[in-house]
Amino acid sequence: MKNKINKLTLPVLFLAPVFLIYTTFLFVPMLQTSYYSLTQWNGVSEKVFIGLGNYKELLKNNDYWITFFNTLKLTAVSLIVQISFGLLLAYLLYTITRGMKIFRTVFFLPVVIAPVAIGLMFSLFYNSEIGIFNKILSAVGLDMIQTNWLSNPKTLLYAVMAPQVWQYIGLYVTIFLGALQSIPEDLIESAQIDGAGEVKTFFHVVLPQLSVFLNICIVLCVTGSLKAFDHSYIMTNGGPGVRSAYLGVFMYKTAFGNSDFGMGSAITITIILISLTITLLFNRFAASGSEN
Amino acid sequence: MKNFSKKAFALAVTAVLTVSMAACGSKDSSDNTSSSQTANSTAAVSTADTAQKKVSLVLSTNWGEGDSKYNYFYPKFQEFQNANKDSMDISFETYSTEDYKTKIKTQISSGNLPDAFTYWGGAMMNVMVEAGLLLDIDEYFKASQTVKRENFEPSSFSYYTAADGKTYGVPLESTRGVFLVNTEIFKQNGLTVPKTYDELKQVSKVLNDKGIIPIAMASSGGTPSEFFFSELYNQYNGAADELKNLTASRKFNTANAVKVAANIQDMINNKMFPKDTVANGGWAACLQLYTDKKAAMTYTYPWMFESIPEEIQKISEVVPIPKLPDADIDPAAIMSGFTVYGFEINKATFNDPEKHDAMIKLCDFLASDELSVNLSKSGMIPAKKVNVDMNGQKVIYQKMMAYAADKKLIQVHFSTMPSLDALNMFDSSLDELFIKALEPQAFVDKIQAVLDKNSK
Amino acid sequence: MRNFFDKPLKYKIQGTVKYIFLLLVSVISLYPFVWVLITSLKDNNDIYGNSFGLPRIFRWENYSEAWKSANAGRSFFNSLFVCMIALVILAVITSMGSYILTRVAKSKLLSTYFSLGLMIPIHALLIPSVLIFKYLKLTDNLFSLILVYTAVNISFSMFIMNGFLKSIPKEIDEAATIDGCGKARVFFQILLPIAKPGLATVATLAFLNCWNDLLLGLVVISTPAKRTLSVAISVLKGSYLTQYGLLCAGFAISIAPVVIMYLLFQKQVIAGMTAGAVKG
């Protein structure tokens, strides 16, 4: 019996601080949000309980579905671009002899720059009156794809997506590089002694070792994309209409812009539910994959 | 082990939730104004004991360090603070506009509203009025020795008057919409200032051929396009009344609104605006095309005057907007003019006997002639009847006031739109109209749908 | 392959191509940083009229003005204070929790519970947080900010720490336990040092999160003297017109410590490397 108590003391003691802080300042707000989502609330008046009313209205709301699909597009693009470039760059850095530290710092630099500055830079860059993007295109002979990037309904969303997807590649480089460095050296060296080329080494030796971190980065990327806000809001206000808005932007505009905190909270809950679903599905998929 | 962690998890969640739910429960009851008022006054008493009846107040504003009004406001505020440093302790909190709206909204819902704060009226203040957080300013006028309702332009109160007929904000800033032409560009190209839509079309063609944007007008988040839309709207019969009654009637979907939208579409088709209306949207980016002489005309507001170089001010003239082809009213007779900004008073603090006198003093300062006159140097048109020394003003400000002298002032949708979500829909749909992603009727319907949804 | 000159020509070409590619990516990565620095020396006319060129007039005064307007000395200290304390608390509690969840009492339920925080948009936390701090009578308090910064970074820190702890072979702590180490000692003396690269990665990213946070700092803190740097810099935006040169000067001021922090932790990463083998 005493032994059992002793066995429990350590886990409880070790888990308690992180559990308490997390629950009080993150989980409780989340519960409050889910309660708000069932009410009609403008932020100050009495909350009127309306059950699933907000959710029903959301499902009928065209703008919600536009932002929903925008968000899915962003998630897909981020996953493809950020994870593959992050992995590629991290591996290249890992294999070079000189300058690794400098390159690593440089690749990380965009991550630290405020999205406001990046947003301004790209708005100026895309601007067809004063910007240089179209000029660059015509200089390299690509006149035919010149357009008003932010005012063309076809290019708008991707023009807003690009800076965000690009800005955070450095994040994944950092995580992957940290992971690569914790792989035992001899594993890779023995593979190379066996005559495996760099590409082969990467796919057969390095990648399996990274699977845990690949999972981490994929989940970070998905959850990050699903709550994306800054670039869209800064560059276009999520507009015109909601054409370049993601769920996060739509939530903010609903809750804080329209003072409709009930509906805003309902959007938040859907963001969490979508994230959770994707993450759990992915984990199950990854788990079954690793068993094979 | 698995069993243990599940049990421990359940137990811990229950424990934390009980505590926090209790917290939320009691919070709701203490949120109302009366109890926060008592909390405020006890705090005041305790500070009064230690520091000779010193009252602490919070003054919040978005006239922050990066704003063009800051340099005209802060020195005056410092004078006021120094003069009263023995009796009050004012915490002066500044934010950028976007941050400020977020901040105030969280403060409203947590019951920490500042004691006095500059803020918008109309749909922006409704939530606070409904919750009974704001003082009916007639109570302030009654208590004040120096500031009376009669000191203000009578029309300036409408923006701060709520559905119950009472006024909840002291208007400070009035404004005028100005259509500017760069006379030099016109002269160089042998053009005359267009008065009719046909003339505008011809002028635009010539300018476009020379690589000059005819009118710097664009739309990002509805700026500056929403004011341009309203200005054009007033060229039609009945529009003025429709605008005035919009708050009550909730009817945006008028024949006139469709006409204006159709005309804007035609202007876009005739290449009168910059190609990329999103990237060139917003007050600053849009005006920049004009001040850089990349555009020959623009429509802007006095709060932007601070960023028009003197050389451009000299060669700019304020002229009427060309008359739309199907318009009824001569644009040379009208000009949009309305209250855009002022300050609001926290009712609980004002009625707190400990803070009442200090609050009156602070409000008297905010509503003083001296402050209004000083702020006018930033391009602000005082809502108060004060004598502004024209010689100390910018050239462009003088030109505007001279032009405005005989004009009938008209309202804009911005001040009369009944709810925030409709106003936001107006703004974001204008962006869509400008990129030709919406047809005029669809544009109008979109905004009406929001108004209809709320009236249920 | 590690040693360039010992290798056959094929590898030399491969190496050169690699460097050219990395250099290209570096230029693209470095550019926005350089752009912010250049823009910080311009005025608005120069920014709009000459967006991507060098300043026509170098406005060094933007820096002194931004520093003064944002009360940067004070807010810099506030930010550093809050971020550092949050970081220390975060590192200690998440690595302890992560140890339990990956080694002692594996629990999928708890892991999922802790990952929920990754999914909530920060805007949804604003009003609930303010209400909780009001209840705790911690309104307008830097301590509140420390707590909430710790809380919002727990999810992703635990997530990454779990990964690093999982990748350490179990045999290591089994061996230590046989040697008679208690579980606590195994963690502090054996696992934590091995997991240093993980901790450094977490610390870097968490520091960045805290340092760049605008919204929580905005709603939790009211008194100007208690402001964090990012909130103070945000005041440089105007209501209708923003002097972007000034704002970029502010950003440049706030980026500097993050870059220093990153370089500092990089050393940590290297120093904490387990194998100790010299690369190359």
- Do the domain assignments include residue B24? no
A233 pLDDT above the threshold of 80 = yes
d(CA C201, CA C94) in angstroms, rounded, equals 13
Q: C44 falls in which pLDDT band (50, 70, 90)?
A: confident
**Is the CB of residue A21 less than 8 Å from the CB of residue B9?**
no
Q: If pLDDT is split at 50, 70 and 90, which confidence band does B22 have?
A: very low
pLDDT digits (tens, 9 = 90+) for B52-86: 578 999 999 999 988 889 999 999 999 999 999 89
User: What is the percent of chain B where pLDDT is above 90?
Assistant: 77
Label residue B19 by pLDDT band (50, 70, 90): very low
* Residue C40 touches partner A, C-beta closer than 8 Å: no
- Whether residue C47 and residue A124 make contact (CB cut-off 8 A), yes or no, is yes
AA identity, residue C125: L
Of B5, B278, B419, which is closest to A240 when you measure between CB atoms?
B278
The reply to whether B292 touches chain C by the CB within 8 Å rule is yes
Is B280 in Cβ contact with A11 (below 8 Å)?
no
Q: Are residues B280 and B416 in the same domain?
A: yes
pLDDT at B192: 94
Beta bridge partners of B338: B175
- Whether B35 shows a pLDDT value over 70: the answer reads no
Q: Are residues B332 and B383 part of one domain? A: no
From chain C, the residues in CB contact with B112 under 8 A are 130, 134, 139, 222
Residue B386 located in a structural domain: yes
Asked if A124's CB is within 8 angstroms of C48's CB, the reply is yes
ipTM of the complex: 0.89
Q: Which segment of B265-274, B386-395, B412-421, B433-442 scores lowest on mean pLDDT?
A: B386-395
Q: What is the reported pLDDT for B1?
A: 45
Cα(B211)–Cα(B188) distance, integer angstroms: 13
Give the per-residue pLDDT at A228.
93
Choose the closest CB to B292 out of C48, C236, C247: C48
Residues B249, B263, single domain; the answer is yes
**Token reading at B175:** 């404004």
**Distance separating alpha carbons of residues C65 and C42, to the nearest angstrom:** 13
Inform me whether the C-beta atom of residue C275 falls under 8 Å from chain A C-beta atoms.
Answer: yes
The answer as to whether B64 is a domain residue is yes
CB contact under 8 A, C236 and B62: no
Q: Which residues of C touch A261 (CB under 8 A)?
A: 127
Question: Are both B256 and B275 inside the same structural domain?
Answer: yes
Report the residue of C11, C13, C29 to disrupt the A interface, i.e. the one with the largest count of A CBs within 10 Å.
C29
Predicted confidence (pLDDT) per residue in A35-67, tens digit: 999 999 988 888 999 999 999 999 999 999 999
The predicted pLDDT at position B44 comes to: 44
pLDDT higher than 80, residue A76: yes
Chains A–C, number of C-beta pairs less than 8 Å apart:
256
CATH class given for the domain over C72-235: mainly alpha
Contact map slice: C 232-251 vs A, CB within 8 A: 244, 247-248, 251
Residues B318 and B418 in one domain: yes
Cα(A77)–Cα(A67) distance, integer angstroms: 15
Listed in order, the ranges of chain C carrying CATH 1.10.3720.10 are: 72-235
**CB nearest B106 (choices: C127, C231, C242):** C127
Query: What is the predicted pLDDT for the residue at B55?
Result: 92
Query: How buried is B95 (Cβ within 10 angstroms: 0-12 exposed, 13-18 middle, 19+ buried)?
Result: buried
Nearest-CA distance from A190 to chain B in Å?
39
Pick B109's closest partner by Cβ from A19, A44, A128: A44
For the cut 60, the answer to whether the pLDDT of residue A139 exceeds it is yes
- DSSP assignment of chain C equals --SGGGS-HHHHHHHHHHHHHHHHHHHHHHHHHHHHHHHTT--HHHHHHTTTS--SS--THHHHHHHHHTTHHHHHHHHHHHHHHHHHHHHHHHHHHHHIIIIIS--HHHHHHHHGGGTS-HHHHHHHHHHHHHHTT-TT-HHHHHHHHHHHHHHHHHHHHHHHHHTS-HHHHHHHHHTT--HHHIIIIIIHHHTHHHHHHHHHHHHHHHHH--HHHHHH--SGGG--HHHHHHTTS-SS---HHHHHHHHHHHHHHHHHHHHHHHHHHHHT-SS-PPP-
* pLDDT category of residue B37 using cuts at 50, 70 and 90: very low
Structural domain of B69 = 47-174+339-391
Query: From C40, which residue of chain A is nearest by alpha-carbon distance?
Result: A117
Tell me which residues of chain A, numbers 46 to 85, contact chain C at a CB-CB cutoff of 8 Å.
none
* Residue B96 shares a structural domain with residue B215: no
Closest-CA distance, A48 to chain C, in angstroms, reads: 17
Element (H, E) at B145: none
Query: Measured between alpha carbons, how far is C123 from B106 in angstroms, rounded to an integer?
Result: 11
Band of the pLDDT at A212, cuts 50, 70, 90? Answer: confident
Question: The whole model's pTM is what?
Answer: 0.90
Reported as half-sphere exposure (CB side, CA atoms, 13 A), residue C163 has a value of 30
**Contacts within 8 Å (CB) and 24+ apart, B5-10:** B5/A11, B5/C105, B5/C106, B5/C107, B5/C109, B5/C110, B6/C107, B6/C109, B8/A8, B8/A11, B8/A12, B8/A15, B9/C107, B9/C109, B9/C110, B9/C113
Of C47, C263, C274, the CB nearest to A105: C263
Asked whether the predicted pLDDT for residue B2 surpasses 60, the reply is no
Contacts of C245 in chain B (CB under 8 A): none
Task: Give the number of domains in chain B.
Answer: 2
Same domain as B407, residue B349: no
- Judged by CB atoms closer than 8 Å, whether chains meet at B288 and C69 is answered as no
Looking up tokens 């009344």 gives: B241
At B15 the pLDDT is: 54
Which contiguous run of DSSP H or E holds residue B216? strand B213-216
Q: How many beta carbons lie within 10 A of that of residue A69, not counting itself?
A: 12
d(C-alpha B374, C-alpha C120), whole Å: 46
CA of C67: which chain B residue's CA is closest?
B65
pLDDT higher at A9 or C218:
C218
- Residue pointed to by tokens 């938040």: A268
Residue A272 touches chain C, beta carbons under 8 Å: yes
Which is more confidently placed, A52 or A211? A52
Q: What is the pLDDT of residues B218-234, one digit of tens each?
A: 999 998 999 999 999 99
Write the residue in B8, B277, B421 that is nearest to A260 by C-beta: B421
- B421 and B276 housed in the same domain: yes
Domain-located, residue B28: no
Taken as a whole, chain C contains a residue count of 280
Instruction: Mutation target for A interface from B99, B134, B213, B276: give the one with most A CBs within 10 A.
Output: B276
* Three-state secondary structure call for residue B379: coil
pLDDT at residue B279 above 80?
Answer: yes
Per-residue confidence band for A5, with pLDDT thresholds at 50, 70 and 90:
low
Neighboring chain C residues of B64 at a CB cutoff of 8 Å? 235-238
Domain end marker among B391, B414, B429: B391
The chain-wide mean pLDDT, for chain B, equals: 88
- pLDDT tens-digit map of C225-245: 999 999 999 999 888 888 889
State whether C44 and B91 contact (CB < 8 Å): no
Residue A96 forms contact with C (CB below 8 Å): yes
Residues B112 and B200 in one domain: no
Q: Rounded to a whole number, what is the distance in Å from the CA of B261 to chain A's nearest CA?
A: 16
Together in a domain, B239 and B363: no
Domains of chain A: 55-287 (1.10.3720.10)
C-alpha span between A94 and B429 (Å, rounded): 49
The domain that contains B365 carries what CATH number? 3.40.190.10
- Mean predicted confidence (pLDDT) in C105-126: 90
Task: Check CB contact under 8 Å for A240 and B109.
Answer: no
pLDDT of res. B33: 38
Contacts of C240 in chain B (CB under 8 A): 68, 283-284, 301, 303-304
Instruction: Supply the pLDDT for residue A152.
Output: 92
pLDDT band at C7 (very low <50, low <70, confident <90, very high): low
Confidence band for C170, pLDDT divided at 50, 70 and 90: confident
DSSP B165: S
Mutation target to probe the A interface, by most A beta carbons within 10 A, among B428, B434, B451 is B428
Instruction: Tell me the chain A residues in contact with residue B109 when contact means C-beta distances shorter than 8 Å.
Output: 43-44, 261
Q: Do A117 and C32 touch (CB under 8 A)?
A: yes
CB B371 within 8 A of CB B156: no
Q: Are C223 and B91 in contact (CB < 8 Å)?
A: yes
Nearest-CB residue to C241 (from B4, B27, B304) = B304
Mean pLDDT of chain A: 89
Confidence of residue A177 (pLDDT cuts 50, 70, 90): confident
pLDDT of residue B24: 43
Percent of chain C residues past pLDDT 70, beyond the cut: 91
Residues from C contacting B (CB-CB < 8 Å) are 44-45, 48-49, 69-70, 104-107, 109-110, 113, 126-127, 130-132, 134-136, 139, 214-215, 218-219, 222-224, 231, 234-243, 246-247
| Torsion B20-B22-B23-B29 (CA) sign | positive
Q: B2 in a domain, yes or no?
A: no
Asked whether residue B321 falls in the same domain as residue B430, the answer is: yes
Q: How far is C81 from chain A (nearest CA, A)?
A: 19
Query: Residue A43: its chain B contacts at CB < 8 A?
Result: 105, 108-109, 127
Query: Among partner residues B101, B278, B429, which is closest to A151 by beta-carbon distance?
Result: B278
Higher-pLDDT residue of B191 and B24 is: B191
**Residues B89 and B203 both lie in one domain:** no
Each residue's pLDDT tens digit, B296-319: 999 999 999 988 999 999 999 999
Q: Which residues of chain A neighbour B434 with C-beta distances below 8 Å?
A: 151, 240
Please indicate, yes or no, if residue B3 is contained in any of the structural domains.
Answer: no
Evaluate if residue B31 carries a pLDDT over 70.
no
